[in-house]
Chain A
């Protein structure tokens, strides 16, 4: 995407931003989770669809000349001065899928929020990240009134690749959200190391 970008050599101290996506079906709690852990009120940005559609390959069935906008919620966590984490809620509707390609470019990883009452809603997100080999964790949002399932049941029901973490969470709760992110960052680190070793051998 920006590989041809040539500017002055970047200083060692250049600010660093990492991107984490929050995906899942409609109403699974994406914006809630972003809001719970973000230090800023979740912000909303709009993307013009006609413009976004130009840079991706898989826009079959998407009219590239549509000029409506799609909103994305995002939040920020500052780890320290010069190192921050940005969380982007992915647009839920299928017709905005091509936006995911841009969002996932360079992403550290993703959280797929699952609602056990509508587990099938998160299948597309699971497929998406598995195919692109983007590290993700499944966070089961434990809605009140939903039947409790164990992480193992969810893992089996989603037919997850071995090792993909499943975390039970409450998307409204800051500590719970933090825990989900920690699990994701740990897992992303393990995946990355494993790939480095693969490429060496």
Chain B
């Protein structure tokens, strides 16, 4: 979180959000006011895929995870989910889900696979597979 709080009115209770966060947005209460995922500053793509990490720490530890974190883990337990699906499934804004997934990644609960970078995007073999798959639908 930046230290730039010059524009923020210094009232008691208002210090937890910073200049970058803009005006108070309620959903970010679930992230402790953070609008970006952890120190890595990663911005997950909408189709970044989130799956449970094998040998993840015990989720019953009540100290680190909030109910929203648990809801995300529950969804991932069913099957690998994209960030967009997680947002729809938990009814949370994508920005909030990004922060929470960042937490889960840092704590070792999930792994996140990025979409292929555009430069190497359509591997011919994959595209053929996609076309065949679409025809077979």
Contacts and interface: CB of A to CB of B under 8 A. Distances in A.
Given A17-B49, A47-B94, A65 B134 contact: no
Interface residues of B, number: 49
Interface in B89-137: 89, 93-96, 105, 111-118, 121-122, 124, 126-127, 129-131, 133-135, 137
B129 A80 contact: yes
Given A15-B113, A43-B84, A79-B130, A2 B94 contact: no
B27 interface: yes
Interface string A1-38: 11111111010001111110000000000000000010
Interface stretch (B8-16, B37-45, B56-64, B66-74): B37-45
Given A15-B49, A83-B133, A45 B84 contact: yes
Contact of A15 (B80, B105, B134): B80
Contacts, number: 151
Interface in A118-173: none
Nearest to A195: B119
B121 A108 contact: yes
A194 to B, nearest CB: 12
Interface of A is mostly: mixed
Contacts of B48: 2, 17
A3 B117 contact: yes
Contact of B45 (A1, A43, A67): A1
Contacts of A6: 40
Interface in A29-76: 37, 43-48, 50-52, 54-55, 64-65, 67, 69, 72, 74, 76
A80 B121 contact: no
A44 B92 CA distance: 10
Contacts of A2: 42-45, 48, 114
A98 B73 CA distance: 30
Given A15-B80, A79-B130, A106-B118, A178 B135 contact: yes
A136 B46 CA distance: 20
12 contacts: A4-B42, A17-B115, A19-B47, A50-B22, A77-B137, A86-B46, A86-B82, A106-B45, A108-B121, A182-B134, A189-B127, A192-B122
